[in-house]
Structure 1
Amino acid sequence: MSKDKTGFEVPEQMRDFAEQSVDQARKAFDEFMDATQKAVSKAEDNASAMQAGAADVNKKALTYAEEHVNAAFNFAQQLVKTNNVEDMMKLQQDYLRKQMESLGEQTREFSNTATKRAQEAAKAAQKK
């Protein structure tokens, strides 16, 4: 046992108890940090999977927008070349029909892609 200049003695059991307490606190802290690092890593992985899926969906959206703009320019070029109202009306009907068909197909593709990416991200989150 140790004695300091004031005559105060720290019992050996108190020292052992304090040492065990510090060891337990360190162990608890280390476990907490490990769990935190795993959670952060999982969140980063999930975010990466979501970002990859979002990037794919964004690319599709841009592609669809470009297709629609190109179709509108083609329609405008054809429209200025018409000679009468009947040709203009037929051209407009054809353009609208094609755009609606295209929009329907793109909506299905977009929905399928978004659903697929969301499912992939959910699976990746469950694996971790």
Structure 2
Amino acid sequence: MSEPGRDHFEIPKDMRTMAEASFDQARKAFEQFVSNTQATAGKIEERNATMRAGARDISSKALAYAEKNVQTSLDYAQSLLKAKDLTEVMKLHSEYVQSQMRALTEQASEMGQAVSRAAMDAVKPRN
């Protein structure tokens, strides 16, 4: 009871061509989006790796400075135990304070440079 030709559906050629072109554009846009997303993720990963390396460097410097300063303090305390009189104690104390001030100044400078280097590396443009 159906009319002849009514059960058969055909998309006009122009519509099919236009739909295929739109589909191709959508596929290319999606592929470009995925490619850009992967590139961005890679750059973020690089930055994170750079920041972790900088933090590791700063952390290892801080630990090395702490070790050195504790060792110096222990050496100072041991030298005080061997002092023969108050004059020698005062001399040892003066030398220790001057030495520590120089060391702390140098350490602060080096730490500042390491922090600056890490910050510059983190914001350096990547190609």
Q: Distance in 2 between matches of 1:93 and 1:74?
A: 14
Deviation at 1:68, TM superposition (A): 0.3
Q: Which runs of structure 2 are paired with 1:25-44 in the superposition (5 Å)?
A: 25-44=26-45
For residue 117 of structure 2, what is the aligned residue in structure 1?
116
Q: Distance in 2 between matches of 1:120 and 1:18?
A: 48
For residue 67 of structure 1, what is the aligned residue in structure 2?
68
Deviation at 1:46, TM superposition (A): 1.8
The one-letter code of the counterpart of 1:60 is K
Secondary structure in 1 matching 2:69: helix
Secondary structure in 1 matching 2:114: helix
For residue 100 of structure 2, what is the aligned residue in structure 1?
99
User: Is the Cα–Cα contact under 8 Å of residues 43 and 126 in structure 2 kept in the other structure?
Assistant: no
The one-letter code of the counterpart of 1:127 is R
Q: Distance in 1 between matches of 2:14 and 2:80?
A: 97
2:19 aligned with 1:22:
no
Deviation at 1:5, TM superposition (A): 6.8
Q: Distance in 2 between matches of 1:6 and 1:92?
A: 105
Deviations 1:8-63 (A, max 9, x none): 54333332222222211111000001111111111111222222222222221111
Q: Distance in 1 between matches of 2:121 and 2:22?
A: 45
2:126 aligned with 1:127:
yes
CA distance 1:89–1:15, shift in 2 (3 Å) = same
For residue 79 of structure 1, what is the aligned residue in structure 2?
80
Out of 73-82 and 103-112, give the one that drifted further: 73-82
The one-letter code of the counterpart of 2:41 is V
5+ long unaligned stretches in structure 1: none
5+ long unaligned stretches in structure 2: none
| Percent of residue pairs identical | 40
The one-letter code of the counterpart of 1:87 is E
TM-score (norm 2): 0.80
The one-letter code of the counterpart of 1:76 is A
The one-letter code of the counterpart of 1:26 is R
